[in-house]
Structure 1
């Protein structure tokens, strides 16, 4: 049985104020959580919670907050009682009144209600969503970094070497480990709130892996974006992408997984597939690795078998289906370019997305083709030199200019 953590009244008041003020650090949050789970004597907590509740509700209309409903939403959900700390039963440790305070405070801090308790703000904006950011590394949009955009619009830089908790979003804790992010259910049992959408965006020269709340794994290619809810609680699991992504969908026959990409919809129950939907291509390509998918475009539909690729036009309603080399479609995910005698301009589009370059053309190169396999993590100089060895094409790298991308000239 866990022993109660010793804590002073002043320090407990500080931790609770930091929680509801959204200034609490990760270490302080763990300290407060540990104290609550080890609690035996509730008198100190009761007094502190009453004071915090009085502070945050001062000057507000209590009718705007249904604390009884908040309380019932939490205690009616069995997940609220789950914990790594293995606390004793809540009904024994906490009185109904104390739990009501605690439940309200937890929801207030998670929902960000303290942001919109002011009536004037409520009249002009929608209720704040469940957002508690624990990391404030933000950058300007024109800088090159993988970004996680939270439901409230705040941004977090996703460094591939970073580990730890990034943010709290409703019932989920966002964690990063070994170059990927994942969503962990923290079991607050928050019900009846507006769906929260998170977005991950990759710049040129970066890809990123995400584990969605349902366990689906997503590899996001360079210059791509995926938007998804932090909880899949409806009849379907729907995400939206721009660019390219490879999916390994967690199987759930009762909740189909749907990818929206430039007006095309890909529907599956659980399978592995790749979707390429770069807007400049004017097509959406879906490549099936295993399982089955249904592709719909402007009222037309196609069922794919493994090894097939559908090409849906953005301007027409037709869907073309072809057999394809799966290895070619997944080359980017595995860290290399694979070109099968493709037009040089198509080849250079892929290269320009990955490397921070602008491509220019000199002479008659429109009919030139290139085939081969090249590592994506080579320098641009190494990559272009390898391509030149075929003798079919030549390149010139122009000196960089301040504020501009590097330029590569393609020549016969």
Structure 2
């Protein structure tokens, strides 16, 4: 901040030519200046001195006949900043300052973030791992590609298979998503706050069984001799080769399976009853029941296509999605009765843009404090 040309930045702010990066620099400078002031009295004295200097400069410029108003505008902007600082410090004690009207750093949407835990317990942060081979196990080579995928392939020049069956787990945190190609060629897209446990190799197994927590979209490689089974907390989905989406978050009241292609058999592990889905249908598992109905494919697949699509959802259900995608904490203040949220918003938007869209459509108010979002009536 020492070499920052504040005057130039304020001048360009006034004429509307300031870039987003320069605006962030100016705001960061402002925040640092406010926090560096020890007490209100010192700020007031500095403001008086600056005012005196400002009047002296105006007088000098007037005598020289130079352009006065651009300089006045720049100085006025500067004093507006200092005046705002003065207001904050006059209303708060020095040790409890609250800067409320400053637009702080925005929060980005989810990106390619995941962790891979190998069968031997080794944990790899895939975000930081270099592209190329990151591990070998059970005659399988694990590779991270340049476009952010994790791919399993049979290692070359290897004969036979290990007698030890190892299981790997890939986890996406809040604010993360990832793609993985399993050892059998099955392609899996993982939503935020999800995990998938699977064998490092399916070669010696009669069935291809994986375990999911959270949400994922599967394109299962066809293999009629080896069924593919996805187990979640409350259900099992058995397929031979098909495309489907499973939403099974622990904080959601239902487990939803949406079928796009082929057929799947859904078994409720609580009631031990099963149903067959055909393309375009969705099953909802809740308690001991399975309900089958027509799926809203656009809504079910919106997360994979890069959108939020809300069709009459409860606000708290919407905010659970927001919390996972942006890695934020949600807190409710007052009585929140908003229901039936209807909106389509790109998942590439920053958090502030999403919240503004929800405020406009729903008549609610949000306030962001760090990574906490306050929801207010």
TM-score higher than 0.5? yes
Does 1 or 2 have the higher relative contact order (CA < 8 Å, sep 6+)? 2
Q: What's the offset of the Cα at 1:366? A: 3.0
Q: What's the offset of the Cα at 1:146? A: 1.1
Distance 2:355 2:124 in 1: 34
Return closer, same or farther for 1:160/1:286 CA change in 2, 3 Å cut-off.
farther
Distance 2:258 2:128 in 1: 27
Aligned length: 261
Residue 297 (structure 2) aligned to one of 308, 326, 350: 326
Please list, as runs of the form range in 1=range in 2, the aligned pairs for 1:51-62 lying within 5 A after superposition: none
Q: Does 1:147 align with 2:118?
A: no
Residue of structure 2 equivalent to 1:352? 323
Q: Provide, for residues 379-408 of structure 1, a one-character-per-residue CA deviation record: whole Å limited to 9, x for no partner.
A: 11111011112252221112x3xxxxx211
Larger Rg, first or second structure (1 or 2): 2
Q: Provide, for residues 83-129 of structure 1, a one-character-per-residue CA deviation record: whole Å limited to 9, x for no partner.
A: xxxxxxxxxxxxxxxxxxxxxxxxxxxxxxxxxxxxxxxxxxxxxxx
Distance 1:240 1:189 in 2: 29
Q: Provide, for residues 172-204 of structure 1, a one-character-per-residue CA deviation record: whole Å limited to 9, x for no partner.
A: 010111210111111423335121111100011
Residue 231 (structure 1) aligned to one of 201, 214, 224: 201
Residue 365 (structure 1) aligned to one of 316, 329, 336: 336
Distance 2:176 2:162 in 1: 37
Q: Does 1:377 align with 2:345?
A: no
Does the 8 Å CA contact 1:252/1:269 hold for their aligned counterparts? yes
Return closer, same or farther for 1:160/1:291 CA change in 2, 3 Å cut-off.
farther
Q: Per the alignment, in what secondary structure is the counterpart of residue 302 of structure 2?
A: coil
CA RMSD of aligned residues (A): 1.7
Q: Which 4+ residue blocks in structure 1 deviate beyond 6 angstroms?
A: none
Distance 2:183 2:162 in 1: 18
The answer for unaligned runs of 5 or more in structure 2 is 1-111
Q: Does 1:195 align with 2:171?
A: no
Q: What's the offset of the Cα at 1:324? A: 1.6
Please list, as runs of the form range in 1=range in 2, the aligned pairs for 1:286-325 lying within 5 A after superposition: 286-298=257-269, 299-313=272-286, 316-325=287-296
Does the 8 Å CA contact 1:203/1:224 hold for their aligned counterparts? yes
- Output the TM-score relative to the length of structure 1: 0.61
Q: What's the offset of the Cα at 1:162? A: 4.0
Distance 2:232 2:190 in 1: 13
